[in-house]
Structure 1
Amino acid sequence: MASPPWLRNLSQAFKAHRLGRSGWYVELNRDRLRVVSAELPLRPGESPDQAHKRRACSLSVPPGPATAAAALSEACAVFDSVMEGTWEWLDETAAPPAEDPRHLNPEHLERLILQLRCSLVGERMTARTWDRTWEPFLQRLVASAAERHADDDAALVTTYLRRWEANTRSRQMAHDRARSLWKEAGWPWPDEMAQLRGNGKAAADPEGVRAFTDQEIQELRERIGKSGRLGAADLLAWDTLAVFGLRPQELIGLELKGGASGSPVAMVTRSKHSSKGATRPRQVPAVPPADWPPDCYRLLHRWHAHGLPEWSQRATGPGAHMTQQLRRLQMPSDLTSYGMRHAFALRLGLDLGLHVREGAELMGHSPAVHLATYGRRLDAPGLRSKVQALVAGRGNRCG
């Protein structure tokens, strides 16, 4: 990717300041500017045989055309002090040690958040994911530190976590984000925080996941048909989720073909990466609701006629877009786009009687995840029948 004009101009001005001395660069690394050169002194702990290695010094000035002049001044100051032999490594982004009473100050937390962002964005997540699911939680931590000075880590984190209701997913996310921040700083995490994280299962619906019923799927199809804002491509996207149990993100790059029996087969190429690993490409045969025709309302014909809508191919959240469509169509408020995937999983287990391992294979996750997510709904009918039969048999024996 070509460098932006402001960065090219900055590099040229830096080169002019060096009077042509080679081996020095200003580069953009994620969201930080760095001066790179093998002439930078050895870092503390580096051996002399690494003297020829290029090292990078991050600048404190943020990148961008508005700050290019300040960045040039700082880069030139680094070069001049190295040439004079007075420059030393200073880790300006490191948080003070946990025994330092200043380490919980808002400004130190802000600096640490920026450091954590640099280590995650581009490596484990996109900038949009950080902005939506990390930044809001961590900024509330900074707000907690600003409202009232805490004497120790446990006091601050306790105040912060109690901003969310106990045993909710939001509190668990807040806990995990804060713990990642402490790990980035090298601070010990208070052991007593484990119970404040809570147990999401304690607040879980006793019925298990909320899936679309066959009647709700049909109702959704009718409402899309009557809607003036949604068209045939939108209906195709929803029918594809219902028939193949895909994650909304798996609509990206999806291909459909005809199976041996004439029913459609989905060729899923989109991978999902998480701490538990990555999914692999898979083929999923159509498993429509029981009252659908075998051709799934001419799904293949509609696929070739107009394909999926443009919004479904964006990496910035097809699922959120589809859930907004549900709200506009005034479907039940507890339904989301993932409800189609949940309905597919229950169809595999309850209607077809597939084993957990088989269902997990078709859905692109592990049997452990499948059992943890759907086990309550899949096991409950058989368990109730078994208990009733055993109780009835006990009564007959007693008679």
Structure 2
Amino acid sequence: MAKSEYNLNAVNQRLKAAKTKVSIKQRGGSLSMVATLPPKSGSDRPNPYRQVIALHLPASENGFKRAEQEARLLGARLAAREFDWSLYQDDSSDRDLAAKLVERFKQHYMSTHTPTEATWENQWQKIYKRLPQDKPLDAATLVNLVRQTKRNSRNRKQTCQKFQKLADFAGLKVDLLQFQGDYGGSKVEDRDIPIDEAIVQFRANVTNPAWRWVYGMMAAYGLRDHEVFFCEFTSDGLRVTQGKTGPRLVFTALYPEWVEQWELTEVELPPVRLDRGYEYLSGLTSKAFKRYGIPFVPYDLRHAFAVRASVKFGYPISTAAALMGHSPETHLRTYQRHINQQQHLETSKRILGSSDRPKPPDA
């Protein structure tokens, strides 16, 4: 959206077009919301009437941007009959404290997206906890906290993105995305992927039957560590019911023999809370691997599956990617790096030794 569209007239026109029963009012250099609201506690007026809620926002581009967000949120609450004066009667000196801003941003985000409470805690609140909760939010604090994270890391990238969302909501003029670096799939560190013989060997270390089932499912089906807790066997194969990239069908195991040998169709999940979010489940799985002396991390089983699909089974990239629940581009960028020279040699020998390999033309 063009910057010129964040002014009093443009914002109110959009609010009217969206049938949001709230408008923005400018008095001097400050912005407020105007709407028909229930009487405040202690009022002698029996019915709702037009009232003003001060936003304490400047009449600037970022101020109008956040004012529009606040107006849409207020309109949604009024439409759902969930308006509560306690959300708008903070002492003006407290409204811009980090803790207050985060709480209002959470309410706005939850009203426009559909995350679970666990997702908010694990992906958003864990970053916002780094803020000085009892101090006003300012750009310098955000920049300083970003610079305390490791460059070109996942933590740096997530911190920049989450803080930028909060800054935009607060009307702060700061560009944090310039610091996020170039972390991504191409920056995934090289891994020492376990060979299949080692995967079989170390499975015996896992003495707890439930965690041994988790280990086997990740090895045989290439599941993400949290997906193991959300899957079921069907007549078409293993179905992942939810996870990072949504539901999918994993129509075969690699190797199919592991399913029978390890009795994987006999589902036995560890006693964990499934409502705590994917990161919580991933963390429990990592701790279990360490507890049983597994010399690699859970995700290495998924990487081994990717290599096995391409090298030993010769699956096309698109099919291997579909099995694993991501795009062919992601498969190439993230997993093909782990197929070393010896594995390429094995693939070449297998293809050339096949009876139906291409033959040269007759002389």
**Cα distance 1:283–1:214, how it changes in 2: closer, same or farther (>3 A)?**
closer
The count of residues paired between Structure 1 and Structure 2 equals 285
- Is residue 43 from structure 1 mapped to residue 54 from structure 2 by the alignment? no
Cα distance in 2 between the residues matched to 1:127 and 1:356: 36
SS of the residue 1:247 aligns to: coil
**Cα distance 1:300–1:219, how it changes in 2: closer, same or farther (>3 A)?**
closer
Cα pair 1:211 1:343 within 8 Å, conserved: yes
Question: Match for residue 203 of structure 2?
Answer: 221
1:1-399 aligned at under 5 Å gives the runs 43-44=22-23, 77-78=40-41, 80=43, 83=46, 88-90=51-53, 107-121=96-110, 123-142=113-132, 146=135, 153=139, 155-190=140-175, 193-200=176-183, 204=187, 207=190, 209=191, 211-225=193-207, 230=208, 232-256=209-233, 266-272=237-243, 278-288=245-255, 295-296=257-258, 298-299=260-261, 301=263, 303-304=265-266, 307-311=267-271, 314-316=274-276, 317-332=280-295, 335-378=296-339
Alpha-carbon shift at residue 326 of structure 1 (Å)? 1.1
Cα distance in 1 between the residues matched to 2:184 and 2:23: 47
Q: What 5-or-longer segments of structure 2 have no aligned partner?
A: 1-19, 26-34, 64-91, 347-363
SS of the residue 1:224 aligns to: coil
Deviations 1:282-340 (A, max 9, x none): 1320103xxxxx53163574534xx22243682434322211101212333xx332222
Cα distance in 2 between the residues matched to 1:89 and 1:177: 31
Question: Match for residue 15 of structure 1?
Answer: none
AA aligned opposite 1:200: Y
Cα distance in 1 between the residues matched to 2:285 and 2:36: 44
Q: CA RMSD in A?
A: 4.1
Alpha-carbon shift at residue 379 of structure 1 (Å)? 7.8
**Cα distance 1:266–1:297, how it changes in 2: closer, same or farther (>3 A)?**
closer
Cα pair 1:236 1:303 within 8 Å, conserved: no
SS of the residue 1:140 aligns to: coil
Cα pair 1:360 1:370 within 8 Å, conserved: yes
Cα pair 1:246 1:363 within 8 Å, conserved: yes
**Cα distance 1:382–1:248, how it changes in 2: closer, same or farther (>3 A)?**
closer
Cα distance in 1 between the residues matched to 2:234 and 2:47: 68
**Cα distance 1:56–1:44, how it changes in 2: closer, same or farther (>3 A)?**
closer
Question: Match for residue 394 of structure 1?
Answer: none
**Cα distance 1:96–1:267, how it changes in 2: closer, same or farther (>3 A)?**
farther
AA aligned opposite 2:200: Q
Cα pair 1:168 1:203 within 8 Å, conserved: no
Cα distance in 2 between the residues matched to 1:347 and 1:327: 24
SS of the residue 1:125 aligns to: coil
Deviations 1:40-63 (A, max 9, x none): x953269xxxxxxxx896xxxxxx
Q: Percent identity?
A: 19
Cα distance in 2 between the residues matched to 1:297 and 1:42: 58
Cα distance in 1 between the residues matched to 2:93 and 2:304: 46
Cα distance in 1 between the residues matched to 2:118 and 2:141: 27
**Cα distance 1:365–1:160, how it changes in 2: closer, same or farther (>3 A)?**
same
Cα distance in 2 between the residues matched to 1:80 and 1:199: 56
Cα distance in 1 between the residues matched to 2:54 and 2:261: 58
* Superposition TM-score, scaled by structure 2 size: 0.64
**Cα distance 1:279–1:132, how it changes in 2: closer, same or farther (>3 A)?**
closer
Cα distance in 2 between the residues matched to 1:91 and 1:284: 57
Deviations 1:128-187 (A, max 9, x none): 2222332232232336x95xx99x72x333211111121221111111110111222344
Alpha-carbon shift at residue 362 of structure 1 (Å)? 0.9
Cα distance in 1 between the residues matched to 2:273 and 2:48: 54
Cα pair 1:95 1:112 within 8 Å, conserved: no
Cα distance in 1 between the residues matched to 2:230 and 2:212: 18
Alpha-carbon shift at residue 272 of structure 1 (Å)? 3.3
Deviations 1:66-123 (A, max 9, x none): xxxxxxxxx873583653777613156x7667799xx999943322211221233483
* Superposition TM-score, scaled by structure 1 size: 0.59
